[in-house]
Structures are given as C-alpha cells and as structure tokens.
Structure 1
Amino acid sequence: YRKHQVEHTTPHVFAISEAAFMNLQTTRKDQTILVSGDSGSGKTESTKFMMQYLAAVAHHTASTANTEQQVLQCNPVLEAFGNAKTLRNDNSSRFGKYIDIFFDERFALIGAKIDTYLLEKSRVVGQEEGERNFHIFYQLCTQAGQNIPLTQALGLRSAEHFSYIRKGCRVSVGYRPATSFQNTLAALEAIGIASAERDSIFNVLAAVLHLGNMTIGADKEGGAVVSAEDYESKICAKLLGCDTDKLVAALVARHIQAGPTVGGDFYRVAQSQQQAIDARDALARALYGNLFEMLVSRINQTLRSEVGKKTKTISILDIFGFEHFKTNHFEQFCINYANEKLQGHFNEFNFTLEIQEYQKEEIQWSYEDFYFQTNTKCIEMIEAKRTGMLALLDEQCLMPNGNDETYCTKLKSEIQDNPYIYTAKMKGTQFTLKHYAAEVVYDAQGFCFKNKDPVQPSMLELLSTSHNEYIRQIFQEHLSKMEQNTKKGPKGQSSLFFESVTSKFKRQLADLMTRIHAAEPHFVRCINPNSQKEPGRLEPEMILDQLRCSGLMEAVRVSR
C-alpha cells in the first residue's frame, strides 16, 4: 500500500492510512480519519492498525523511536480501563476517543494527544446479564494470592467476592489481552507511569471494589445504617485515606445549606437505605471516572510534543457505534446523538463532493435532482436552545421537582407534530426517536439522575482532606466545580452553576465537529459480518441493514 493511490489498491485500512499520509505530505493540510460502525464491527482494531501503519511509514530518527512505541502502547492502557465485554463484543470500547498524531516538517512522528468522550461510568456499579465490568478490575483480581504485597495492601480477593464485578465472572471472554494484567502493567510502564503511581492507580481500583461490598442496612424508620466496625468500611476508609467514622457519616446523612453562603444554616438530613446506596454508587462512579480522566491526562503528558507552525496532524476518531437494543436508556441516547452528528457530516461531505463534480464537468443541476435525505431536522430537534430535547432535560434537572415523568410530559407538550419523535402512544416514560439509522424506543427512566451525575458535597469535602495525595489529586476538578457552585451572588446568596452530562457532551461534540471540518476527511466504515462473532461467516440481511443505516446506500445512489 506504500506510495500507491487508494483507488489503485484493494479496500484496506492501510490504504486509507496511506491516502491520509500522502495528502498530508502533498497538501500540508491536516487530515482526519473517521471510523464508524456497529458495536463489534472492528472500529478499535482498525484504529490500532492505522496507528501502526502511520508509525511504520513515518520518517524515523533515533529520537522518535521511543515516541512511536509510546503512542502505540497507549492502546493497551485505554483498552484495559475503558473497554469491557458486552453481548456483541468481547472488547467493546465504552468511550469515544479522538487521537491527534503529530508529525514534524520531515514527517517524523513526534507526539500525540487523546481526547475522550462519555465514558460509560454506570458500568462500574452494574452490568446487563451476559456482560462484564471494565477489563482492569478482573485483571487486578487475578493477582489475589499471587502478588502477596498487592494482595495485602489492597485486600484483594478473587473477582467472585466483589459485588460490582461478580456477575461478569460467569461470562467467558475470547479476547486474551482483556485478561492479561501483565500486559497492562507493561503498557503502563512503557508510557512512563512509574511503580509508585501504578500502585496509586491500583489503590483507587481496590477502593471502588470494596465500596461495592459495603453493607448498607436500614433501621426501623428506614434510615440507612452502616457499621464503622465492618471490614469493608475500614478498608475503604484506609484506601481512600480518610477516617472510617467520617466516611460512614457521609454515607448515612447529607448536609443541606439554607440561606446565604456566609452565615447560613447547615442541616444534617438522614438518608434512607436506598439513598445511601445511591450515594455509595455515585462515589464509586466518580472515583473511576476521575481516575480515567487522570490516566488520559498522564498519557497526554507523556506523548505531548512542541506543536509549532510546521507541525501537521493526522487525527483518528474511534467513537461508539449506533446502538439499538430491546431496552434503550440514557447511554444509548447520548451515543446515538453523537452518531447523528457524525452522520450529518458524512451526508454533507458526500453531497458537497457530488456537487463539486457536477460543477467541474459543467453539468446543469438542481437540488431536486438528488432527493438527498438529511438528518438536519433531527439534530435541530435534539439541540434546539429552549425547546430541544437536551435543553428540556437540563431544565428538569434544575427544577426542584423535576423528574423523568415530568421530562416526558415536557417532550409531549413542547415538541409537538415533529416527525422525528413519537410520544403520544408510548407508555409511561417511553418515547421513540426516528434516527437516520433506525427508529429507536427509549425509556427515560433514570435520564435526570444520570444527566446530573451527582456526588454528595459532604463526600467531596471528605475526599478533599484525604491523607492520600493521589485521591486528592483526581478530585481536583470535582472540587473546583463545587467551589464554583457556591460562589457568592447578590446579597450574599449562593449562585448555582450547573453543567450536566449532556451539556458537557454537546460542548465536546461541537468542538469535535469544528476540528473535523477544519481537516480533510477520510472515512472507514466497519461492517459486522455476522451476529455469532465467527470468522468466515456472512449474514447478508445483517450486512445490508448496516449499509442502509450507515448512509452508504444513499451515498451510492446520489453518486450515480
């Protein structure tokens, strides 16, 4: 594939990589490769192959050899902490990533930067039947009894003993690197994470596992009861670097501030058993989510380069594919929203390309000649400032009595007679969206809670005084947001600044689309050949359905 035009080679990800690299050299314009497809269709593997190809064809020097290896070694780390076994895929990426690969004026690979999107933190505390938690938890538990210092320091046991990952123990995994702790350890070392920092990372992972094992009971009035003498309570406090009694107190009660920030009153309100369980799970999600962000930040520190005017970039987007299950929740809504945005870019690019071809050949044309299907109206319905689906969800999250039911009521009243959403005949909190790929039925149960992604302030305050420096460090962003939320407003009143999960994701997607539009695009469409994960087997109907959903059939029709 080296130095061959893409139209003169057989279809392959190496051919696309070569096209991007050649264009970078000839046009000096940044390139981007957008990898898309259903879950299990090979997006992550294709991304790894393209990164390997670019590392191989780049100009080599003694000083860049180590950088090339570090860029490639970030993949096993991200897979261990961000991938999990699902029903469709043994190594499913549960986050999206945009990788910038930097080249100097001689086209030597001199660094990289990774941006991640929407880690599926809900997986930390629960998984669907037949699925597993993130790979790293099971890898760590394989060291129980084998690595004695680690076992004793972290209270490690086999995976069956931990509530958060027990369900996944009964699930077989065909992807071998998913079970290799040594592989992850070597990759962490290769990207410059030393032994002491690795121990701190494992400490956080163990804290998450032991949190899931904390016993939360109920008294006669239904209030939460947690024993400070319980083994799990003690080891959690030890790993988090805080006092056991204070950890228990933060779980069983919450503090509510009344009046102004300064001089106002604080009330201690007892929590129910379920509220305490929710608080514990929220802490576990926050711990893991912040750890993942810290890890990505550390990878970027290792891979960073002095990006000057002469530096050019090839970027690769590996993002979650369109998801359509029997039951679809908040996570699927966000994932499919991202795919809707990317599909819009694909449609626009191909339509524009075809028009340019007509103009080049001086052919008379009109928009009616194409009958081109777009998804612009669907995206507008989701993103509209006041009456869009995201805006209405944020509004309910800010309302004192806002919940999933009132959100669905708002959808029915504010988005009427829209061909892209059906709410009238749906039951309870269900609604149907007509995506470009397919119609999807969503259940809004849990939308408001997941969009707020709350962690109790008292829990954050406790961790801000942790004796463990690493724990304090990974919560810095959380704590700074909490300080913003209590800034003094007029007359000493506190002002609330709220950025929801969808608001942040919408902002990230807007930035991503700006970067994609600024570069020359290349597309890799991954097609899943069969539902059995078997080699050499093709299911024609399944393949045809993916071709339709991806817009490829429409693109071929327009190009004719």
Structure 2
Amino acid sequence: MDIVGISLKEQEAIFRVVAAILHLGNIDFAKGKEMDSSVPSDEKSKFHLKTRAELLMCDSVVLEDALCKRVMITPEEVIKRSLDPPSAAVSRDGLAKTIYSRLFDWLVDKINNSIGQDSKSKSLIGVLDIYGFESFEQNSFEQFCINYTNEKLQQHFNQHVFKMEQEEYKKEAIDWSFIEFVDNQDVLDLIEKKPDGIVALLDEACMFPKSTHETFLNKLYQTFKNHTRFVKPKLSPTDFAIAHYAGEVQYQSDHFLDKNKDYVVAEHQDLLSASKCSFVAGLFPQIPEESTKSSKFSSIGSRFKLQLQQLMETLNATEPHYIRCVKPNNLLKPAIFENANIIQHDMGVLEAIRISCAGYPTRRPFFEFINRFGLLAPDVLVGNYDEKVACKKILERKGLKGFQVGKTKVFLRAGQVAELDARRTEVLRNAAKSIQRCIRTHVARKQFVALREATIYVQSFCRGRLAGKVYEGLKRQTAAIKI
C-alpha cells in the first residue's frame, strides 16, 4: 500500500472497512415483537452490530433500522415497513457486497493512478492477459461471464486475422478464393442480443420478485429450443449448456439470479454517506434524488456487458498483436501433452496458420517496397516510372512466382520476402566488396608510395656515403703517387 501511494490514514480506513464487513456477516436476525419484523437474534449479533457501527463511524440505531426496515414513499405519505428475518439477512448481505464493491473499485482507481495512467495521452500500449475458456465440474455465473469475455475476444481475433485479412484482398482486387472459418457471432447473439439474449432474460427474471432459477431456466428452454448453440441437458433439470467456440460448457443456474442482482438501497446509501469517517463517506457520495423508489435495481450482467463493450472499443482503436499460449493438459502437471485437448482448444490458431499459408502474409505499399528492393533492378527506376509497373518488373527480374500486385500494395507469399532480402543482402555485399577493394587499394598505394620515398632516401644516403669513401681513396692514391 505504501508503494502504490496509499497514505497511513487511508490504510487504517481500509482495514476498518474490511473489519466492518466481517462483523456484518456475523449478525443474525430473529422475529421481533411486531408481526413480520426482525431484530438482532442475540447478544452476540448485537455486539457485532455495535462494533460494525463503531468501525464505520455511524449510528448503531440507524444501522439497525437500515438493515431491518425499508422506507416506501407514496404520493400520500412515507411508510416505514419492517422486514422479516430472511429479508433482513438479504439486506445484510447486500450491504456487505455494496461496501466491498465500492472499496474494490476505489483500490483499482488508486492503483491505476499510481502507475501513471494519463487520460490525455494520445498513444496507448496495453497488455491484456486472459486465461481462456473455463469449464469445470461446476460452472456458475462467474464462468458464464468469463466465457462471454472469451467469446468477445475470440471474435476480435477472428475479425483481425480472418475477416480483415480477406477483406484486404477484396479491397486490393487480389485474385483469391475465400476460405471458410468458424464464426462465433451466433454465440454472442445468444448471450448478449436484446431483448432475447441470456443476459437480457436474466435481468428480466431478476426484476420479478417471484422469479426463481427454475422459471428462468424454463424461459431459456422455451426461447432457445431451436438454437443450435443452446443445449438442454437430459439428466440435469437445473442446468443448461452453451456450445462455445472452444467447446461445450454446462452451467448450473441455481445462483444465477442471486449473483446478478445488485440493489442500491437508499437506506444503506444514506447511512454510509453520513459516516463521520471521511473515507467511508467518500465511498458513498450523495446521489441526486432521481427516483422515489426505496431501491434501484442494477444488473451485474448488464454492467459487465457494458464494461466489456468499452474494452472492445479500446482494442478496436489499437493495432493488436497476439501471443497464443497452449494448455498442454488438464492435470496441471509438466511434460504431459494431451493431443485432443490441445487441438480442441487451439482457439483458431490452426485456422490462422492455414490462412497465412494459403494467403499473402506479407504486404508492402509500393513506395516502401521500391525504397527497400529498388536496388535489385535500378534501371527500372530511371525517369518518371510507374510504381506498380516498377514493383512488378523487380519481382519478375528475380524470378519470383505466385505474388500479386494490388492497387496500392505488393502481396507476397510466405518466404518470398526472405528471398528478396537475401538477394538485397547479396547486392549490398557486392557493393561493400567494391568499396572495400577501392579502400584497400588506396591504403596499399599510400603505404607503397611512403615506402618508396623512404627507400629512395635511404638509397641516396647510402650511395653518397659510398661515393665519399671512393673519393677519399682516390685522394689518398693521388697523394701517394705525388709523394
């Protein structure tokens, strides 16, 4: 917490909130003196209620009223209605979830700010790490949301690798026979389409007080009985299955409704916004009175769907690069490879390889191609030349086959750009050899001239000394004869 910039005062408040949530879970309710009313069941529950109020710095009497009573506002009057013990327990759990959620969101924002996120930045480099499709023995609402996310990301991968790849060929008028690939749009429609998608039907069931997971499941069976991606298990009357892109996953619907509900209760909001702890009050700022209802329904599924949509908008605004990880086995042990499992969960990798091998993985704009490979045929770049014709002549001169020249780009088969780079390297190497030969010649001649001048100087010196000795001998001989 110190590292991410959370002050000591904020740290103390965080631990207060966490402790308050734990104490809140220990409060039990029993029937009160009035009909259909509830009160803390024993002294232990009263202790936890009082401790929780002290931790959050709010009034314990107001806290008890917020848990055990509801205010209903009608045009004529304001009615305070008591809750029975089961309803009070639901209110208690709802309050705990709300506090935990607000604290979690605050921590996320704090961490994001501490690592230097700049909202005004025009450039973005992001890393999205996701495990993949989940299929366990028991799959509930959490796995449903995770697999929904994976379907969205899989479609993004499909669009980028498959659809956009083939649309590029069509736009550039490339002669190409389109390859069929598995599209998961029908799975996404099954999950998110309005008004008959699973998320929409789940929200609808949550808004009806008498709905149960059985009525929700029957609605799904009735709506999607002819859908190819929706499966009704024969031996599990409370389950349903979806044929996802990565395989079929069976979900247990028992807790879907409970996990999707997120009630913002006005009494809870008023209680915590009036807290004497500034941190707690900051988690629950005052909201405008837009509704006269005592509670406003908010769907976890719809909120998750909105956040996922915002994530996809961010991804679509960037240039993606993918790293595919293979899960070798389900035992989580090393050196074990389950072939069927790997192939089943390849997540479009095999199709991506198939399209890359059959298509043109390398495409270069004319100017970029000529700028790099123009030296392979410099004579075609003389004068006012046509870029498209020049690119074609360069490729033909080097004997390449199977390439295509589009409207604005050159499309090359796998391996052809490597071959061109090898030819380019050879031309550059020969040019380097010529330059090196001239440099070596210049250096060698310079050394030779210096050596020759030095040799002539030494030779002239030696000849002079020898001539001096001969002259001295002649003088001595002449003198001898004269004597």
Give 1:61-460 correspondences, 5 Å limit: 188-217=1-30, 224-226=38-40, 227=42, 230-251=46-67, 253-257=68-72, 259-260=74-75, 263-272=76-85, 274-304=86-116, 308=120, 311-319=122-130, 321-352=132-163, 354-355=165-166, 364-367=175-178, 370-423=179-232, 425=234, 427-460=236-269
Q: Larger helix proportion, structure 1 or 2?
A: 2
CA shift, 1:374, in A, is 0.9
> Match for residue 501 of structure 1?
300
Query: For residues 228 and 366 of structure 1, do their structure 2 counterparts lie closer, same or farther at Cα, with a shift above 3 Å needed?
Result: farther
2:133–2:147: 8 Å Cα contact kept in structure 1? yes
Cα RMSD, aligned residues only = 3.1
SS in 1 for 2:13: helix
Q: Which has the larger radius of gyration?
A: 2
Q: Distance in 1 between matches of 2:343 and 2:335?
A: 13
Q: CA deviation at 1:498?
A: 4.3
Give the structure 2 partner of residue 179 of structure 1: none
Aligned to 1:323, the other structure's residue is in SS state: coil
Name the SS of the counterpart of 1:191 in structure 2. Answer: coil
Kept in 2: contact 1:485–1:498 (CA 8 A): no
TM-score by length of 1: 0.57
Change in Cα spacing, 1:401 to 1:340, as seen in structure 2 (3 Å) is same
Aligned twin of 2:281: 472
Preserved contact between residue 192 and residue 302 of structure 1 (Cα < 8 Å): yes
Structure 2 CA distance, aligned partners of 1:547 and 1:417?
25
**Gap regions ≥5 residues in structure 2:** 358-483
- Give the 5 Å matches for 1:472-551: 472-476=281-285, 480=287, 483-486=289-292, 498-531=297-330, 533-534=332-333, 537-541=334-338, 544-545=341-342, 548-551=345-348
Q: What CA deviation, in whole Å up to 9, does each residue of 1:245-295 have, x standing for no partner?
A: 3323332x23151533xx4331312322x3333322222221111101111
In the aligned structure 1, how far is the partner of 2:7 from the partner of 2:295? 40
CA distance in 1, matches of 2:141, 2:158: 26
CA–CA distance in structure 2, aligned partners of residues 497 and 245 of structure 1: 24
Matched position secondary structure for 1:454: strand
Residue 520 of structure 1, CA deviation: 0.4
C-alpha separation in 1, matches of 2:30 and 2:323: 51
Return the alpha-carbon distance in structure 2 between the equivalents of residues 460 and 540 of structure 1.
53
Q: Aligned in 2, Cα 1:429/1:485: closer, same or farther, shift over 3 Å?
A: farther
Give % identity.
38
User: 2:270 corresponds to which residue?
Assistant: 461
> What SS class does the counterpart of residue 228 from structure 2 fall into?
coil
Give, as a single letter, the amino acid of the residue that structure 1 aligns with 2:345: R
Contact 1:210 1:236 in 2 (8 A): yes
Kindly indicate whether residue 354 of structure 2 is the aligned counterpart of residue 557 of structure 1: yes
Paired with 2:262 and 2:181, the residues of 1 have a C-alpha distance of 39
CA displacement at 1:435 relative to structure 2: 0.7
Q: Distance in 2 between matches of 1:424 and 1:412?
A: 10
SS of 1:480 mapped into structure 2? coil
Whichever residue aligns with residue 304 of structure 2, its letter is F
3-state secondary structure, aligned to 2:79: strand
